[in-house]
Amino acid sequence: MAFPKDFLWGGATAANQYEGGYLSGGKGLSTLDAITGGSKEHPRMISFKTKDGKTHQVTREQSLPAGAVGYVDPEQYYPSHVATDFYHHWQEDIALFAEMGFKCFRMSISWARICPKGDFAINEEGLAFYDRIFDELQKHGIEPVVTINHFDIPMHLADELDGWLDRQVVDYFVFFCETIFKRYKGKVRYWMTFNEINFLRSWTQIGIHDNSKPKRWQAMHHLFVASAKAVMKGHEIDPDNQIGMMVAYIPSYPMTADPKDVFAALQFNRDQESFIDVQVKGYYPAHRIKEFEREGIVIEKLEGDDELIAQGTVDYIGFSYYMSTASSADPDKVKYVGGNQMPAVKNPYLTESDWGWAVDPLGLRISLCKLYDRYNIPLFIVENGFGAQDVVEADGTINDDYRIQYFRDHIQAMKDAVELDGVDLMGYTPWGCIDLVSAGTGEMSKRYGFIYVDLDDEGQGTLARSRKQSFFWYQKVIESNGESLGE
Ligand code: BG6
């Protein structure tokens, strides 16, 4: 048997894309509550107000004027407000996860639900909400895997302090962590500090108004310090806690054997690996320091920051894997690919999803080998999946064989990495195990789930849940501990 007996099979979600209840139970506003839906053609927009009281919208890549504050326009549809309503469907959803045989369930805690303004004031109702979730999971023998912060920040901290640019946010975040570590001690053992830390930038994700590189890196430094402090606090509160980091891992291949292309790929790869270096090795890699020097970027550090980063290293690497990409030294070949996610080259050897994400199962094995060879600590695939438009047949069935195919090939690759390469893999939580709002486009029509949710891109639908074909397929995979992947 390739996978260990206690392998953590499950599924993954995030509060802002799944939970809804955006003002229920005392929750405060989060930055993501002011971001609209979008599509392949139209980007999601941030709604905000300037000091003169006028309202505006910008894309997430654009900066906001100083002093601008997030704004929820009553005329506009914001997908996070209801999302797919875990807030009211938790019992039903957890029962469905249990029916699939989940051993674990990855979710995030909404910071603004626990600390509505992100400061030291706690919302007891928010804490009680997650108590109910963890108790229900425990009832079904499902281990929670908690991302402490997934892509947002309480809006108050963005409005008043310019988000993670302000050092005070480190203390607020660590307070939030301490609160949940203490409250859920004995209920939650697996944690991750920040989702896809290498993707964090912009007002929506880290609350900063000015998106320029020096500001982003100053904020990143604060995030690294906060993560290190949280890891130490979490271990102190409960030595059984396993606390990981989480990175979006997209391996890049050189487009040709030309050493220039090989070097371009190296640069692409080490950019994302540098985030792992800081959190696993405990220091900024030399190439990053040289880059700061060359570009005149000066990170303001407090005395002791480097020591904190060195001490607060993580127990495992959580990562998302959806696709690979290719690199070229020729700037004319480099276009935005992967659904406009990153500047890279289209790989002619791979097919793509309807959203332009290259499908590359072997890339998952390559990633597992690279990460394990490089860091030698346990790995956890906490996101993987195929975003596709599903069709509900007249009899209600959803034949998502394309998704089954994607998972079969990726699980096989993962199995090879464990069995043949000796990678220490803790678990596998496919993304959006139940349909939820897409982070990139804000659509519902880009679906990942084994469970279908009746909701469209405009927020219309009954929110009823139904099982797709992939539900029954994944159930068998888990039941056989990954031995039976079907035809
Ligand atoms: C990851 C995120 O980037 O990919 C998730 O951690 C996100 O939040 C997922 O939903 C898939 O991306 P998208 O844009 O298809 O939702």
pLDDT of residue 338: 58
pLDDT tens digits, residue range 111-142? 999 999 999 999 999 999 999 999 999 999 99
Name every residue whose Cβ is closer than 8 Å to that of residue 472 and which is 6 or more positions away in sequence: none
Asked if the structure places residue 57 within a domain, the reply is no
39-43, 81-85, 321-325, 454-458: which range is least confident on average? Answer: 39-43
**What is the per-residue pLDDT for 40?**
85
Enclosing H/E stretch for 254? strand 252-254
Report how far residue 140's alpha carbon sits from residue 137's, in angstroms, rounded to the nearest whole number: 5
Nearest CA owner, ligand 1 atom 7 = 439
Please report which confidence band the pLDDT of residue 339 belongs to, taking 50, 70 and 90 as the band edges.
low
Question: Is any atom of ligand 1 closer than 6 Å to the C-beta of 387?
Answer: yes
In this prediction, residues 469-477 reach a mean pLDDT of 98
- Give 310's pLDDT tier (boundaries 50, 70, 90): very high
313-324 as b/e, with b when 16 or more CB fall inside 10 Å?
bbbbbbbbbbbb
pLDDT band at residue 143, thresholds of 50, 70 and 90?
very high
- Number of separate domains in the chain: 1
484 Cβ partners below 8 Å, 6+ apart? 476, 477
Predicted confidence (pLDDT) at residue 331 exceeds the cutoff of 70: yes
Give the position, in ligand 1's atom list, of the atom nearest the Cα of 440. 14
Task: Report if residue 38 sits inside a domain.
Answer: no
Q: Is the pLDDT of residue 25 over 60?
A: yes
pTM: 0.98
Question: What per-residue confidence (pLDDT) applies to 249?
Answer: 97
Residue 340 has pLDDT above 60, yes or no: no
Instruction: Assess whether pLDDT exceeds 90 at residue 391.
Output: yes
Instruction: Please give the pLDDT value at position 346.
Output: 87
Which whole number is the average pLDDT over 328-337?
81
CA 448 to chain centre: 14
Structure tokens belonging to residue 241: 């806690």
Q: Please state the rounded mean pLDDT for residues 424-440.
A: 98
For ligand 1, atom 14: residue with the closest CA: 440
Query: In Å, how far from its chain's centre is CA 333?
Result: 29
Q: Check pocket membership of 353 for ligand 1, CB cut-off 6 A.
A: no
pLDDT of residue 335 exceeding 80, the answer is no
Contact partners, residue 326, CB within 8 Å, separation at least 6: 252, 253, 254, 255, 265, 344, 345, 346, 347
In a domain, residue 417? The reply is: yes
Residue 42 predicted with pLDDT over 70: yes
The answer to whether the CB of 149 is under 6 A from ligand 1 is: no
Which ligand 1 atom is the nearest neighbour of the CA of 439? 16
| Beta pairing class for 252-254 and 325-327 | parallel
Residue 402 has pLDDT above 70, yes or no: yes
Q: Give the model's pLDDT for residue 251.
A: 95
Does the pLDDT of residue 316 top 90, yes or no?
yes
> Taking CA 95 as the corner, what is the angle to CA 127 and CA 380, rounded to the nearest 5 degrees?
70
- Centre of ligand 1 to C-alpha 243, Å, is 21
What is the residue-averaged pLDDT of the chain?
96
Residue 103 falls inside a structural domain: yes
Task: Summarize pLDDT for 236-271 with one digit per residue, the tens.
Answer: 999 999 999 999 999 999 999 999 999 999 999 999
Interacting residues of 188 by C-beta distance below 8 A, sequence separation 6+: 134, 144, 146, 180
Q: How confident is the model over 416-442, as a mean pLDDT?
A: 98
Q: How far is the CA of 438 from the centre of ligand 1 (A)?
A: 6
Residue 233 Cβ < 6 Å to ligand 1: no
d(CA 216, CA 229): 20
Task: Give pLDDT, residue 13.
Answer: 98
Which CATH number do you get for residue 187?
3.20.20.80
Q: What is the pLDDT of residue 305?
A: 98
pLDDT tens digits along 209-221: 999 999 999 999 9
What's the gap between Cα 30 and its chain centre? 16
SS3 354: coil
CA 154 from centre of chain:
17
Nearest alpha carbon to residue 216 among 265, 257, 164: 164
pLDDT at 337: 63
Q: Is 72 part of a structural domain of the chain?
A: no
The tens digit of pLDDT for each residue in 145-198 reads 999 999 999 999 999 999 999 999 999 999 999 999 999 999 999 999 999 999
Give which of 376, 336, 381 is closest to 482, Cα–Cα: 381
CA distances from 356 to 153, 278, 386 (A): 29, 31, 11
CA–CA separation, 81 vs 86, rounded Å?
11
**Per-residue pLDDT at 417 exceeds 90:** yes
What percent of the chain is modeled with pLDDT above 70?
Answer: 99
Q: Is the pLDDT of residue 89 over 70?
A: yes
Query: How far is ligand 1, taken at its centre, from the CA of residue 460, in Å?
Result: 22
Task: Compare 41 and 306 and report the one with higher pLDDT.
Answer: 306
312 lines ligand 1 (CB under 6 A): no
Q: Residue 453: helix, strand or coil by DSSP? A: strand
Asked whether residue 40 is domain-assigned, the answer is no
- The string over 450-471, giving b where at least 16 C-beta atoms fall within 10 Å of a residue's C-beta and e elsewhere, is bbbbebebeeeeeeebbbbbbb
**Exposure string for 239-266, b = 16+ CB within 10 A, e = fewer:** eebbbbbbbbbbbbbbbeeeeebeebbb
Q: Which domain holds residue 330?
A: 8-22+81-479
Q: How far does the centroid of ligand 1 lie from the alpha carbon of residue 440, in Å?
A: 6
Tell me whether residue 311 is in a domain: yes
Point out the residues that are catalytic.
383
CA 186-142-359 angle, to 5 degrees, is 125
Residue of 198, 431, 441 best suited for mutating to test ligand 1, as the one with most atoms within 8 Å of CB: 431
Please report the atom of ligand 1 found closest to the CA of residue 446.
Answer: 15
The number of angstroms, rounded, from the C-alpha of 364 to the middle of its chain's C-alpha atoms is: 17
Q: Within 13 Å and on the Cβ side, how many CA atoms surround 320?
A: 23
